[in-house]
Structure formats: C-alpha cells, structure tokens
Amino acid sequence: MRRGDRWAIAAIMALLVLSFGVRALFAYFQRGAGMTAVISQDGMVYRRIDLLKVAEPYEFKVVARDGAYNIIRVEPGRIRVIEANCPEQIDVLQGWISRPGQSIICLPHRLVIIIQGRETEEDEEDIDGISG
Amino acid sequence: MRRRALLLTLTGAGIVVTLVACVLWAYWRHLDNQVYSQTAFLMGTSVELRVYGRNAQTAAARVFDRLREIEAKMSANLPTSEISQVNAAAGQEWVRVSPDTLVVVKRALAYADLTDGRFNPAIGPLVALWGIGTERARVPLPAEIAQRLPLVDANSVLIDETRTSVYLTKPGMSLDLGGIAKGYGADEAARILRELKVKGAFVNLGGNVYAVGSKPDGTPWRIGIQDPVQPRGALLGVVETGEGSLVTSGAYERCFVEDGRRYHHILDPRDGYPAESDILSVTIVAASSTDCDALSTSVFILGTEAGLALIERLEGFETILVTKDKRVLVSSGLKERLQLRNEEYEIDETR
C-alpha cells in the first residue's frame, strides 16, 4: 500500500509539473499578442515600437541618404508618416495605420513601417495584403 | 498489494506518456503555424513576403535569392543585366541570355501580338525619355517622342530559341520588362514555395499578389484592391481567393504633375504618351502572375471595350475593371468573391 501511494503521489506530481509546463509552453507560443510597429530603412530595422505601450504622442525623423527624410508620429495604438520630402507623398497621404499586418511604404526612401502582432478575433476586416 | 502498485505505476506512466505526447504535439503544431514576414526593395518595388509553416524562414530566404537573381538578369536599370546587354547591342549583334530572360521576352512578345502592340516590351526608349518614377521625370518635347516611336517596335525584337539569344535589329532600341518581370518573379516565388511544401504563403511584389496554399486557420486569402482615387491603403473592395495570382494596374501608381497635369507611368506605345484610358484600374485574377501582369497593363491601354473583348477571348482569367465614371465591371467568376468597400462605386450588372 505504501509503495503504491508513493507512486500515486509521484504520478500526481508529474501531472502537476507537466500541466504547468504545457501552460507555460502555450503562453510562450502565444507571446507577441501586443502590437509592434517595426520601422525599417533600406532593409535595416531602425526602431521597434510597442504601440500598446505608448503613453504620450511623439514624433521622430528617419533620415536616409541625400537628405531624404520621413517624419513619423506615434500615438497610443497607431502610427503614421506626417511629413516627408518624397515626390508623391504616398506615405503621408495614407494616414494612420493601427492593425497588425498593415503597413506604410515609402518606395523612394526605402522606408517600411509594418505593424506586427497577433490578429485578434474581432479583426474580421483583416486582409492579407493590398494589390494596386 | 503488488498488483495494485503495478496498476498505479502503469496508470502514472500512462498519464506521463500522454502528457509528453501532448507537449510534443503542441510544439509540432506550433512549428507548423510559424509565420515569417519580410519586406525588401527589389525589382524597383517593395516586395512583401509572408510564409507559414515550419520551414518558413528558409523558404523566404530562397524566394528572395531567386528574386534578386531575376532582377540581376532583367532589370533595365542595372548596366550588367542581360537586358541591358541586349539593349547595348541593339543594331549590332545577338546577345546570349539565360532561359529565364528568354521565357519572359517571349511571353512579352506574345502579348505584343495579342494586343496589336499596345503591350510592348520594346518600350524602353520612351520609358527612359519620360523617366517616370525617377527624379528626372518630365514631359518630353513632341519631337523627342516622334524620334523614338519608330524604335518601339516589337517586330524588331528577334529571338533565337536554340541559341537562347535576343537581338534588337535597330540601333537605339531597348527592352523594358517592367510590365511583366514582376509577374514572373511572383510566379517563381510561388513555384519555390510550393516545391518547399510550405503550408501557405502570401507574396506581394508591388501589387502583383500570389497566394500559395492556405492560411493556418483554413480561411480563404483576403486581398484588398486599392481604391484608384483614394490615398494608398484605402480599399475599393476585398476579394476572397484560394491559390493563385491577382494583379492590379492603374494610372495612380506612379505619376508626376507638370503644369497642373498628371502624367502616369503606363505609356501607350502608339503615340508615346501616358495611355488615355477610360479605365482607372484593372485587376486580373489567374493562375499565372506573368499573364496577370502583362494583361493588366494591356487591358488598361486597350480601354474598357477592347480590353474586355481580349479577356473574353482568353481562358482562365477573371477581371475587376473600374472605369472613370466609377462603374465597376466584374467578370462572372468573381462576382461572388468581391465585396465592395466604397459606396461611391457600383457594380455594373449589365455586363
């Protein structure tokens, strides 16, 4: 009887440890539920901003070569380009982006802002990409 | 007593094994659901790639390598490319090219035939003259255009299949595969991703979209179509699709303004000016992105009537056509799959 009990306790312990393990593992895999704006210039990551942790709006300037620049404004949960010296102003005209998967691209300055993160259930509107 | 101990031992072991199996399974599933995204500037545009599956990152690297290779062969802006070599030897000699370049030039010439020269890979001299999309974009003098028009001649592009060579017969001629090479790039990306058996992937070469396989959750791919008159990112509608390509061309993509007039990048090889089309944007859906790319440009230049007539003659193509009077013409195979997002537009049911 005593021996059996010991085994039972061991089994229960193992079960407990494992279930915590599984939980931790799942939590680890589910990581990145935030919303991170990744700003890159010519393929190099320039800055990462967790948009859900932005308290106060702020702006910064990304300078490429030959005086090419884009001024980016960050507000809680969203980001946009407010000024740039590119010819067509496509990035400025696009306005705010605020959902994972959305991106702003300034082709002449090789600037990309992309929002990464897990898509939430209510994001029914989400699309995989834009053609045109 | 011993029996009971044995029973407990077995039960315990069973639980442990099951749990370990669960963990392994979860990890396996996690690997399968891995997603890797990367954006790069290649082939004169931004290339967005999203790959799902355990080998996502390796697959993405292979795709980018291949696209760089295609760019190195076909870019008219790189002096070392095969196309630049063919252009430099115009009127002088045959130039040996890779099978890749030959395939694309052949395909481009086939479209020149189909469209009676409206789609024209020999458009190089006009593209260089206008410089649209570059710093030196300007409206050329009529005389400058007139001088180059005779050089924009698809019939003077000769190919020799056995020697995989290309020859431009007139000095000053030049090829520009800008209207088709991105499509070829998307097709090649899709081929590699299928070969590597990724679970799913989404490729976007500056509007040339290719969806491969399926999304992890099994839902169809949802591709937004750019609203031709709104800022970038504003949608005309959304198309739900399975595996295949979708390409949109429009006058809004690349343009410049001079003396209050807008000049866009789709040049009409007949008169040398940006095409005066009654179309704002054309979307083509098909299995081959090369075809979608060439056809979207062709249909734009041809205009609504001739463009739709061309599509009807071909098989396996679906279209969404937005006209200047804001009608949206949708081919029958897409009607169920397109959701309009902007109420200003109306689906024209007469077609």
Interface of A with B (CB under 8 A): 1, 3-4, 7-8, 10-11, 14-15, 18-19, 21-22, 25-26, 29, 40, 42-43, 87-88, 90-91, 93-95, 97, 102-105, 107, 110, 112, 114, 116, 126-132
Q: Which pLDDT value is given to residue B246?
A: 97
Contact: B1, A14; criterion CB under 8 Å: no
Contact: B226, A130; criterion CB under 8 Å: yes
DSSP 8-state secondary structure symbol assigned to residue B19: H
In 3D space, the residue among B205, B243, B237, B206 whose CA is nearest the CA of residue B223 turns out to be B237
Q: What is the value of ipTM here, to two decimals?
A: 0.80
Chain B residues close to A107, C-beta within 8 Å = 41, 45-46
Q: Which pLDDT value is given to residue B154?
A: 96
Cα B76 off chain centre by: 17
In 3D space, the residue among B84, B94, B70, B83 whose CA is nearest the CA of residue B187 turns out to be B70
Contact: B12, A11; criterion CB under 8 Å: yes
Q: Which pLDDT value is given to residue A119?
A: 54
Nearest to B1 among A1, A11, A93 (CB): A1
Nearest CA to CA, how far is A18 from chain B (Å)? 7
Q: Is residue A122's pLDDT more than 80?
A: no
Q: Which pLDDT value is given to residue B195?
A: 97
Chain A residues close to B45, C-beta within 8 Å = 107
Q: Which pLDDT value is given to residue B351?
A: 64
* Cα separation of the two ends of chain B: 84
In 3D space, the residue among A75, A78, A84 whose CA is nearest the CA of residue A100 turns out to be A78
pLDDT tens string A46-99: 999 999 889 899 999 999 888 899 999 999 999 999 999 988 888 998 899 988
Chain A residues close to B233, C-beta within 8 Å = 94-95, 97, 102, 104, 130
Q: Which pLDDT value is given to residue A17?
A: 83
Contact: A107, B1; criterion CB under 8 Å: no
Chain B residues close to A114, C-beta within 8 Å = 37, 39
pTM for the complete prediction? 0.81
Give the residue on A whose Cα is nearest the Cα of B201: A128
Chain A residues close to B232, C-beta within 8 Å = 90-91, 93-94
Q: Which pLDDT value is given to residue A121?
A: 45
DSSP 8-state secondary structure symbol assigned to residue B267: B
d(CA B292, CA B332): 17
Number of Cβ pairs closer than 8 Å across A and B? 129
Write out chain B's pLDDT in tens, 351 residues.
Answer: 678 888 888 887 888 888 888 788 877 777 766 788 888 899 988 899 999 988 999 999 999 999 999 999 999 999 999 999 999 999 999 999 999 999 999 999 999 999 999 999 999 999 999 988 777 888 999 999 999 999 999 999 999 999 999 999 999 999 999 999 999 999 999 999 999 999 999 999 988 999 999 888 888 999 999 999 888 778 899 999 999 999 999 887 777 888 888 888 899 999 999 999 999 999 999 999 999 999 999 999 999 999 999 998 999 999 999 999 989 999 988 988 999 988 888 888 766
pLDDT tens string B271-311: 999 999 999 999 999 999 999 999 999 999 999 999 999 99
Q: Which pLDDT value is given to residue B172?
A: 96
In 3D space, the residue among B283, B281, B201 whose CA is nearest the CA of residue B246 turns out to be B283
